[in-house]
Amino acid sequence: MQYALTTYQAETLVQHYLFPSRIDLYIREKDAERWHELIARDVLIGKGNVRLLLADCHVFYGSFERHGLKVVSLPQLIVDLLDEGGVCAEAAEKLLEKVTEHALRAK
């Protein structure tokens, strides 16, 4: 099943600024029932630190693999971190600086 990590866990894999206190992952809407069955099988339903975010296929564009895990594209990660606010917004700003700096050096 297709997925892509975002926010805390994804940022930790990419930049190591945040403590990975929560796992947010995008899943395809058509796979939602299968994900629910997988999680329910191990009795993991209820409050916790995992959020499944339903998305269409466009959110997976530009995703990449880091340490064997799938991560959203850097622009998507930056937007998601900014939406979270607080320390996530700080992490987004730092990541944006690094991406911009790398893009300018590449020219």
Per-residue model confidence as pLDDT tens for the chain (107 residues): 999 999 999 999 999 999 988 899 999 999 999 988 887 776 666 667 888 899 988 999 999 999 999 999 999 999 999 999 999 999 999 999 998 887 767 65
The whole-number pLDDT of residue 83 equals 97
State how far the Cα of 95 lies from the Cα of 98, in Å rounded to an integer.
5
Total structural domains in the chain? Answer: 1
The whole-number pLDDT of residue 50 equals 83
The whole-number pLDDT of residue 47 equals 65
For 68, the domain range is 3-106
Identify the DSSP state of 47: S
**C-alpha 100: how far from its chain's center?**
20
CA dihedral 33, 14, 74, 28 (to 10 degrees): -10
State how far the Cα of 89 lies from the Cα of 70, in Å rounded to an integer.
21
pTM here is 0.88
